[in-house]
Amino acid sequence: MSVTTVSTDLYSEVTQFYAHQMQALDSGRFEDYAATFTPDGTFQHSPQADPAAGREAIVAELVRFHERFADDPVRRRHWFNHVALTPREDGAFDSTVYALVVTVRPGGKPDISPSCVVHDVLVREEGGVLTRSRLVTHDQVF
């Protein structure tokens, strides 16, 4: 298998970017999460969810999705691993990542579901990395 090398600078910038991005999501800072997308960025977190385009729509979709947890003291953490970057011809990067969603309720044990693969297109701009598109596939959906 041949693997295209990317610089360690880019790789560490992307892993640092993902850490801040997903901690924003898990803390309920949806505006901060949406700000990690390009202004016209697209986001689809589940096969059954409508894709959201643009930061406002991303926030609205996350607010809608999280309404189900309004009376539920759940903590959700999105764990990213196996970040595989491949340069694209347009200067952006394909980023394929494994993601596990860990949920915990007070006094309970962590539950790991869903198991996902994240298909991102990332752009590197002067201000740093941004997500141009994100499609999350779920392993239980064949």
Q: Is 57 helix (H, G, I), strand (E, B) or coil?
A: helix
3-state secondary structure of 54: coil
Ranked by CB distance to ligand SDN, the top (closest) residue is 45
| C-alpha–C-alpha distance, residues 129 and 18, integer Å | 9
Least distance in Å: CB of 35 to ligand SDN?
A: 14
In the bound state with ligand SDN, the residue whose beta carbon lies nearer, of 72 and 89, is 72
Burial label, 103 (beta-carbon count in 10 A; 0-12, 13-18, 19+) = middle
Q: Taking the complex as a whole, how short is the minimal distance between the CB of residue 83 and ligand SDN, in angstroms?
A: 12
Q: Taking the complex as a whole, how short is the minimal distance between the CB of residue 3 and ligand SDN, in angstroms?
A: 23
Residue count of the chain, please give it. Answer: 142
Q: Which is nearer to ligand SDN, 10 or 59 (CB)?
A: 59
7 or 28: CB nearest ligand SDN: 28
Q: How far is the CB of 7 from ligand SDN (least distance, A)?
A: 24
Instruction: Kindly tell me the burial class for residue 109, based on how many C-beta atoms sit within 10 Å of its own C-beta (0-12, 13-18, 19 or more).
Output: exposed
Which residues in this chain contact ligand SDN in the complex, by CB under 6 A? Answer: 25, 45-46, 65, 78, 99, 101, 114, 116, 118, 136
